[in-house]
Amino acid sequence: MSNKKIVFINPPYERIAKGYDFVKHITNNSPSLGLLHLAAEVRLHGYVPKIIESDIFNLSIEAVMEEVEKESPDYVGITLFTVGVWNALSIAREIKKRWPKTVIIVGGPHISSMGKETMERFREFDYAVDGEGEKILVELLQALETGGNPFSVPGIIFRKGPFVHQTHGKAVNKDLDELPMPAWDLLPDFPRAYIPAIYDYPRGPVATIAASRGCPFHCKFCDTSTFGASVRFYSPKVVFQMMQHLREKYGVRHIMFVDDLFVASRLRVTELCKLLIESGLNFTWSCTSRVDTIKPDTLELMKKAGCWEISFGLETGSDVLLKKMDKAAEVEKSEQAVNWTAVAGIRTKGLFMLGYPGETLETIEQTKAFVRRIPMTIMNLTKFTPYPGSPIYRDLYGTNIRDDHWERMNGMNFVWAPDGMTVDELDRHYQEILTAFYNRPKLGLYYASLSIRYPHHLLRLARFGLGFLAAKIRSYTQGRHGLLVQPGA
Ligand code: B12
Ligand code: SF4
């Protein structure tokens, strides 16, 4: 057993653009579940882990360094989303400058989709793990310590001389039940500091769980490179035990299931619902589903078991676009699923995107009409982004690696525009679609009554408003005439 220290870092990232920091008061502040899983696994093998959630706590690079210095770790593990790569690099650079012997290991969606290229570019990262890191990270650490050959560990990307090599295979956990529970105890101020987006949960405290991994579909905009196509589930009993633990130890009342296909197996969902109903724990929870995997009877049971909201990847109101996306769905089916969900008394969160290749004025109008027609409660509209690891990335860019947009790949910037449309036009349509959906008296009344029932949302809204006001005043006093985007952003 080793007792070496490993500090895990979730680097900061831009949520919209520099100058919009105040949106943090209303956006999602979920911790990295990946780091919680990794920390739990290495701890089982004697390592002493710490987690730094730099984004959630608004830590500057210098503040992250201070935290690292307190631990003087042997290893640093950084989780990489494409949008956070440059910040991760700044952190790695500082660490190497101050403590050159610290071994830096990276993993996460950006590595699973573009690991070799990333390692070729950034010499500050010593090792990368491709895929699900729990077991492989331990194997790698053990190999490094026992003088074994780290290059015999599968799913590793490493540097040898001037070249970068990748060992055979990809890290996959076949049996999720074998994994230890995420190390929630390592999160500072958990669960209080880790709240989802405003109005996206009834009341806290809230925690996230990934109850399955993998998705067999191949929607062209989606990066599935970390978990791949084979779906693996925790058994309902173990999911229930996690929920019980979160209630008993931390008083958690609402769970967000973040798996891609929570409702993929109705048998499993039914079992979990029964456990929840029998327990009388009175959790509320939300999950994701494809529109083709739910049926009224399952929805009814889910509601009884506390299901509060389902996120459906509806994407667009156009069948032509759904087809181009390889979504294997139809607008009519989407509408039916949302109607069934409303009848069951569960909220629908619709996940949409604007600007996918093939988007036209006609498809935009179809989306506007669609979002006004269906009984949806909350709408999440992202600006189409070709993420590395998604099939559309290669369609658009060929095999060329494009890194010029990484720090803007947060779904809030149009880094690409379809033929015949400019980014400015798309931005205008973006506002129009959201307004078409939200600017309706019926929805206004719903949110007013939700605010009365759960007033803590109003408090968040007030903080957001004050932040906005402060940013405006700052902008005028700095001679930027009210513009919020900071120069150079
Ligand atoms: C929950 C979630 C969120 C949450 C929590 C984010 C977080 N920090 O974990 C919130 C809502 C905040 C979020 C935000 C964003 N997300 Co998100 N999110 C997800 C989702 C649905 C599940 C992630 C999860 O918890 N998985 C379970 C855990 C166990 O897996 P994991 O975190 O990947 O970690 C494992 C491996 O990656 C690896 N690993 C990870 N880190 C490390 C580090 C080391 C050292 C090692 C060795 C291994 C390793 O081992 C871990 C354990 O097996 C995924 C979809 C998916 N299928 O993954 C999208 C996904 C990760 N998100 C995505 C995106 C684009 C975003 C945003 C940029 C934009 C947005 N509007 O959502 C922001 C950026 C956030 C950031 N921090 O940079 C993309 C990433 C694509 C890419 N190439 O970057 C995904 C893949 C969705 C998709 N299919 O396109 N997200
Ligand atoms: S969008 Fe959903 S269904 Fe499609 S590949 Fe991604 S996770 Fe799977």
CA of 327 to the centre of ligand 2 (A): 8
Nearest CA to ligand 2 atom 2: 260
CA distance 287 to 260: 9
pLDDT value, residue 400: 62
Q: What is the pLDDT of residue 273?
A: 98
* Strand arrangement of the beta sheet that strand 127-129 belongs to: 48-53, 5-10, 75-79, 103-107, 127-129, 156-160, 163-166
Nearest ligand to the CA of 387 is: 1
Three-state DSSP class for residue 209: strand
19 lines ligand 1 (CB under 6 A): no
CA-to-CA dists, residue 263 to 122, 294, 298, angstroms: 39, 7, 9
Distance, in Å, from the CA atom of 383 to the CA atom of 14, rounded to the nearest integer, reads 15
Q: Per-residue pLDDT for the chain (489 aa), expressed as one digit of tens each?
A: 778 999 999 999 887 777 788 888 999 999 999 999 999 999 999 999 999 999 999 999 999 999 999 999 999 999 999 999 999 999 999 999 999 999 999 999 999 999 999 999 999 999 999 999 999 999 999 999 987 778 889 999 998 888 999 998 888 899 999 999 999 999 999 999 999 999 999 999 999 999 999 999 999 999 999 999 999 999 999 999 999 999 999 999 999 999 999 998 999 999 999 999 999 999 999 999 999 999 999 999 999 999 999 999 999 999 999 999 999 999 999 999 999 999 999 999 999 999 999 999 999 999 999 999 999 999 999 999 999 999 999 898 876 666 668 888 999 999 989 989 999 999 999 999 999 999 999 999 999 999 999 999 999 999 999 998 998 898 899 888 877 766 555
Q: Is the CB of 290 inside a 6 Å radius of any atom of ligand 2?
A: yes
Q: What is the pLDDT of residue 387?
A: 93
DSSP assignment letter at 180: P
- 49: Cβ below 6 Å to ligand 1? no
Q: Output the CA 260–ligand 2 centroid distance in Å.
A: 6
- Residue 24, ligand 2, Cβ within 6 A: no
The verdict on the CB of residue 222 being under 6 Å from ligand 2 is: yes
- In angstroms, what is the span from residue 469 Cα to ligand 2's centroid? 38
Residue 6 CB–ligand 2 contact under 6 Å: no
How far, in Å, from the CA of 82 to the mean position of ligand 1?
A: 10
Please give the C-alpha separations between residue 380 and each of 173, 217, 447, in angstroms, as whole numbers.
31, 21, 16
Can you say whether residue 165 is alpha, beta or left, with left for phi > 0 and alpha for psi between -120 and 50 degrees?
beta
Q: What is the DSSP letter of 44?
A: H
Quick one: pLDDT at residue 486?
66
Q: Can you tell me which atom of ligand 1 is nearest the CA of 196?
A: 11
Q: Measured from the CA of 216, which atom of ligand 2 is nearest? A: 8
Which atom of ligand 2 is found nearest the CA of 290? 3
DSSP 24: G
